[in-house]
Amino acid sequence: MRSESSLNAPPLAGVPPPKRLMGLLGFVQFAHLLDFMLMLPLAPLLMGAWGLQTRQYGVLLAAYGVAAAVSGVVATTYVHRFERKRLLLALLAVLALAQLVCASANSYAVLLVGRIAAGACAALVGALLQTLVGDLFAPQQRGRAVGVLLSGTSAATVLGVPLVLVLINYGDWRHAFAFTAGLSVLSIVLLQVAMPMVRVDKQRAGAAGYAVLVHLLRNGAYRRVLAFMGLGAFATFVVIPYMPLYLTSNLQWPTEQLALVYVLGGAMAFATAQLAGRMADRWNKVHLYRTVALVSMVPIVLQTHLPASAWWVVLAVSTLFFSFAPSRAVPAMAIAVSAVAPPDRGAFMALNAAVQQLACGVAAYVGAQLVHMQAGVGLQGYSTAGWVAIAVTLSTAWMAGRIPLPSSTKA
């Protein structure tokens, strides 16, 4: 039987050096995730501009997640048939159009439609990027590749969100979506120039559409991975969408200074993602995940229970909170990628992205039911959301050890 390394030999010619490929995928990750992340600091602005309630804002987030989930499930029936590069370029083009719809929205309903369309595309972009980590990099490089990929998430926080907030300060929230549309177009240009073509497995590509989905769901190990990744996403997004509201309403943090929170938090997240990637390549991935997950519960409790404090205390806690999300996600993704057989990765990562997006959408909706704005007091129920995140994080620490991994990826 061939080793996983031989199965994962890059099926393409003229491949750029690994670091360049990692950087390219990281930039695309940055560009498409900024579209989702910009909704977080926009919460106070949108709620103020259109008089939205907390639950209406939660619906905007949940609709994005549900649309992403539906498109991801549908994608499992066809994504394995297409050459990766062409599909990625097409999805980014549609995403750019959806972002322009959001930028020109003149009502809550139009913005909601734009967010649904963006979610449907962004989920598949994320799935393809995860798939390319398995397609282009050997097992001993995947931890670092995942770290770079997730550093794109951190870069969206430390560079993208603050820049968007600056644009908003000189204009309005529409500039945020116009900026992300420009990034999507730039991603298309860079991929067209620098991304090699990636062949698909012809045998798997010939499989009937829904037979692929049935094949994935019949695999007990794959079901465990999906539950593990979905719960991990839920634990993060039941808390983080309402953090800006808590900062501005309960801790009296100035709205115009939210950029500082994201700059410092994103910088720390970027550093910890890189460190976690290197550690995931050298250490037992399950042990690393469990350690980071358990430690991450401390900043969750601090962030969701923090009373009015000095500015430096608020900044220190928010920075600590931001730093643990990617450091927990890196070993989790390394576990997921390694647990899936190479021929199944394209379809599985689309399904995995769907599950994660659905989990994010459900978590945002659940969070919206747990919290509410009270006049003269601020955001109430945020501590309850924190305890829910703690309980779910504990469950993922237990589940990590129940996912079977190839012997070469355990150490």
Q: pLDDT by residue (tens digit) across 256-293?
A: 788 888 888 878 887 887 788 788 777 888 899 999 99
- In the prediction, which pLDDT does 8 show? 42
Share of the chain above pLDDT 70, in %: 86
Burial class of residue 273 (count of CB atoms within 10 Å of its CB; 0-12, 13-18, 19+): buried
The vertex-217 CA angle with 212 and 220, nearest 5°, equals 135
Average pLDDT over residues 311-324: 91
Tell me the range of 43-57, 131-145, 181-195, 324-338 where mean pLDDT is highest. Answer: 181-195
Predicted confidence (pLDDT) at residue 203 exceeds the cutoff of 70: no
Q: How far apart are CA 117 and CA 391, in angstroms?
A: 32
**What's the confidence (pLDDT) of residue 201?**
57
The arithmetic mean of pLDDT across residues 171-198, rounded, is 86
**Does the structure show a pLDDT above 90 at 181?**
yes
Write down the pLDDT at residue 233. Answer: 92
What is the Cα–Cα distance from 22 to 341, expressed in whole angstroms?
21
Q: What is the pLDDT of residue 6?
A: 38
CA 271, 273, 283 angle in degrees (round to 5)?
115
CA atoms within 13 A on the CB side of 9: 5
- The predicted pLDDT at position 13 comes to 41
Query: Is residue 99 pLDDT above 50, yes or no?
Result: yes
* Stretch 57-72: mean pLDDT: 87
Residue where the block lists tokens 């539950």: 227
Please say whether the beta carbons of 358 and 69 come within 8 A. Answer: yes
Residue 98 has pLDDT above 80, yes or no: yes
Q: Which domains does the chain have, with CATH numbers?
A: 17-410 (1.20.1250.20)
Residue 303 has pLDDT above 60, yes or no: yes
Whether the pLDDT of residue 393 is over 90: the answer is yes
d(CA 179, CA 333): 29
Q: Are 229 and 127 in contact (CB under 8 A)?
A: no
Q: Helices 311-339 & 258-282, crossing angle to 10 degrees?
A: 40
pTM for the full predicted model: 0.76
Residue 338: pLDDT band (50, 70, 90) is confident
CA–CA dist 389, 10 (Å, integer): 38
Conformation bin of residue 51: beta by default, left when phi > 0, alpha when psi is -120 to 50: left
| pLDDT digit string, tens, across residues 118-155 | 998 887 888 788 777 767 776 667 677 777 776 776 67
- Neighbouring C-beta atoms of residue 373, cutoff 10 Å: 15
Q: Which pLDDT tens digit goes with each residue over 204-255?
A: 544 556 777 788 889 999 999 999 999 999 999 999 889 988 998 899 888 8
Lowest model confidence (mean pLDDT) among 8-22, 28-42, 217-231, 300-314: 8-22
